[in-house]
Amino acid sequence: MTYCRNLFNYQRRKSSPVNIAQVPLGGSYPVRIQSMTNCSTLDTVCCVEQIKKIVAAGADYVRLTAQGTKEAENLGNIRREIRKQGVEVPLIADIHFNPKAAEMAASQVEKVRINPGNFADPLHIELPKGGVSDLGGVSILELEKQKVRERLLPLLAICKKRGTALRIGVNHGSLSSRMMLRYGDSPRGMVESCMEYLRICVEEDFSRVVISIKSSNTLAMIHTVRLLVKTMEAEGMSFPLHLGVTEAGDGEDGRIKSAVGIGSLLLDGIGDTVRVSLSEDPEVEIPVARKLVEYVEERKGHALINAKAFEGFDPYSYKRRESKKAGIIGKEQVPVVIQDHSQGLTTDYSFADPMPDFIYLGTKTPEAPRKDNIPQICDYRVYREQTQCYPLFEVAQIEELSGCKAALRFLRVCHTDLNEGLLQQLEKEQNLVLWLYSSHLNAAAEMRAAFHTLLNLGSYLPVVVAAAYSTEDVENLQVQAATDLGFLLADGFGDGVCISAGGLQAECLSLMFGILQATRSRISKTEYISCPGCGRTLFNLQSTLAKVKAGTSHLKGLKIAVMGCIVNGPGEMADADYGYVGAGRGRISLYKGKLCVEKNIPEEEALERLLNLIQKDR
């Protein structure tokens, strides 16, 4: 079994349907969209108003935090009030650490989310006087599983009685201590954490279950969800999946990270409900998620892509495809960024700007040389031999390519061009780069097929992925390009990128750098891991994130987490270098990695002390 029945042709995974009140998911039902309130769950009026805004934006479900039994009980008041106002959206309770709150919430709302990492951990195992040897053949592992079962069964009983659905939501960075000891903070650990709970549900004949495995690291999220699907299939399970990238941040970066993680899995046919987690107002998440789902669903019924999967391809971990070096492209060098100027864009770059590695001119006459010294690429028919200008050939121009003495040459190809004869001829050429494009409705999958063909035929030619879009909407462009290119880069495919988008060509530069950053392919700026906020948030998240960005955006390569509370703090910020975490009203704790180095400091001092902490380490 594999995570995807066909690597190259879109087909949605067939999951088992789950009823969540009047809005079922999974099976043949549409991919559902959801968001989460970010005000106190004890504030009924505020929650009701936010729910109405989220629903008006098009959400199918709304989630609310319930950190204690008081908040869980008040979910009933919120639910009754929105029903009075004619809003029938199913509500979901989000629970951390508190099984009693989960049990209370299960009797108030339509679905409850629990995190195996903190629902039944730590577990205290009473050992007999004789120690482990007196356990009568029962292992510590079995005793731990029994404790998990005892903690979970009361919740399942209430869910069965009330018809409440359950989401088992595993988060990267918040695995239980038991799983960390056995597997480390790894994909296998996240999958086993989930499977432990799923097996109990199956044993108890409880099938109203949805699963999620999330991470702020898009590669970890993609590979782990694939591994979970494979593991479930091996045990005859087909539970539906909720997709999301935790702590994606805001603005362009938040949209890019979400599309890379969620979009890549949707292209694989995986996913039954999604949430785009932005550090913005909750209702803003809905149209982004809708654009993402609709973009992928355009592929339904597309023309068949014929290709053979490379047997050595591992979809459960990252490995970059090996390629030859051609100038600054390929081998172990970071992927290059090529900005398209062929449609009339003219830009002079200063060294303070993110600068492309190349400029593509199409049929425009090259400047010789540019003031900013950026190398240019032009179509061969207008190419003239000159410094820092390189030709792009068509497949019909192979003879001209072989005779060209340029220090670097590009060849435009699509998947159907690639065959053994062509590649044998091209392998003789030095400093040659393939310029891969697709006009297929499922362009990303056809380009994936091209990479598998290269692998099967033993070709190590470096490849630039060229993607073209017709949208005039910036957010559409961000979602579409990040979905397609993220899908390929997460597989380890691509030695460079070039995005073309007509009237939005100027916006493509930051987008390309953002996609490479989101896939950890090329780090060009500070990365922010920022939660979307919820009823647990202890400060104004949006203004705080803006303040932290303003003070740290020059720190290229660092990962800085801005987290609203300790639940989304030390654990879920996962691999951040530094963390700025809400510790109480007006109080902040600072982290270096997962170690708290300053506790409960006044919020007005926190940014300066964070900068001082970073400065000491640099």
d(CA 521, CA 565): 30
C-alpha angle 36-37-38 in degrees, rounded to nearest 5 = 115
Q: Which CATH architecture has domain 527-617?
A: 2-Layer Sandwich (3.30)
**DSSP secondary structure code for residue 116 in this structure:** H
Q: Do 32-127+170-297 and 336-518 have matching folds?
A: yes
Compute the half-sphere exposure of residue 560: CA atoms within 13 Å on the CB side of its CA: 25
Q: Is the pLDDT of residue 58 over 80?
A: yes
**pLDDT at 134 (0 to 100):** 46
**Would strands 587-592 and 578-584 be described as parallel, antiparallel, or unpaired?**
antiparallel
Q: 120 vs 94, which has greater pLDDT? A: 94
Quickly state the pLDDT bin for 555 (edges 50, 70, 90).
Answer: confident
What value does the mean pLDDT take over residues 281-294? 95
**DSSP secondary structure code for residue 525 in this structure:** S
Cα dihedral 237, 238, 240, 243, rounded to 10, equals 80
d(CA 311, CA 314): 8
d(CA 92, CA 34): 10
| Contacts of 479 by beta carbon, 8 Å cutoff, 6+ apart | 255, 259, 263, 288, 291, 292, 295
Q: Where are the domains of the chain?
A: 32-127+170-297, 336-518, 527-617
Q: 267 vs 131, which has greater pLDDT? A: 267
Q: Is the pLDDT of residue 482 over 60?
A: yes
The letter for the amino acid at 229 is: V
**pLDDT at 124 (0 to 100):** 47
CATH of domain 336-518: 3.20.20
- The label of the residue with tokens 């647990």 reads 536
Quickly state the pLDDT bin for 614 (edges 50, 70, 90).
Answer: confident
d(CA 358, CA 361): 10
**pLDDT at 249 (0 to 100):** 73
Computed over every residue of the chain, the mean pLDDT equals 89
d(CA 603, CA 587): 5
- The label of the residue with tokens 């002390």 reads 609
Quickly state the pLDDT bin for 285 (edges 50, 70, 90).
Answer: very high
- CA 276 to chain CA centroid, nearest Å: 9
Q: Is the pLDDT of residue 218 over 90?
A: yes
**DSSP secondary structure code for residue 245 in this structure:** B
| Least confident span in 77-81, 112-116, 310-314, 540-544 | 540-544
CATH of domain 32-127+170-297: 3.20.20.20
State the CB neighbour count (10 A cutoff) for residue 301.
8
Q: Is the pLDDT of residue 122 over 70?
A: no
| Contacts of 482 by beta carbon, 8 Å cutoff, 6+ apart | 255, 256, 257, 258, 259, 260, 263, 511, 514, 515, 518
The letter for the amino acid at 262 is: I
What value does the mean pLDDT take over residues 566-575? 60
Quickly state the pLDDT bin for 304 (edges 50, 70, 90).
Answer: very high
| Contacts of 161 by beta carbon, 8 Å cutoff, 6+ apart | none
C-alpha to C-alpha distances, 412 to 111, 388, 464, nearest whole angstrom = 51, 19, 9
Buried b (16+ CB within 10 A) or exposed e, 130-165: eeeeeeeeeeeeeebbebbbebbeebbebbeeeebb
Report the percent of the chain where pLDDT is more than 70.
92
340 phi, psi to nearest 5 deg: -85, 115
| Least confident span in 217-221, 260-264, 429-433, 598-602 | 598-602
| Contacts of 418 by beta carbon, 8 Å cutoff, 6+ apart | 450, 453, 454, 457
Strands (E), 217-364: 241-243, 273-274, 336-340, 358-360
pLDDT in tens, 421-459: 999 999 889 999 999 999 999 999 999 999 999 999 999
**pLDDT at 22 (0 to 100):** 92
- CA 476 to chain CA centroid, nearest Å: 17
C-alpha angle 221-224-229 in degrees, rounded to nearest 5 = 120
pTM value > 0.75: yes
d(CA 481, CA 317): 22
Q: Is the pLDDT of residue 270 over 80?
A: yes
Quickly state the pLDDT bin for 83 (edges 50, 70, 90).
Answer: very high
| Contacts of 546 by beta carbon, 8 Å cutoff, 6+ apart | none
Q: Is the pLDDT of residue 91 over 70?
A: yes
250-253 own/partner pairs: CB under 8 Å, 24+ apart? 250/278, 250/279, 250/280, 250/530, 250/542, 250/545, 252/478, 252/510, 252/511, 252/514, 253/514, 253/517, 253/518, 253/527, 253/528
Alpha helices in 107-211 (DSSP H): 116-119, 140-162, 177-183, 187-203
Q: Is the pLDDT of residue 125 over 60?
A: no
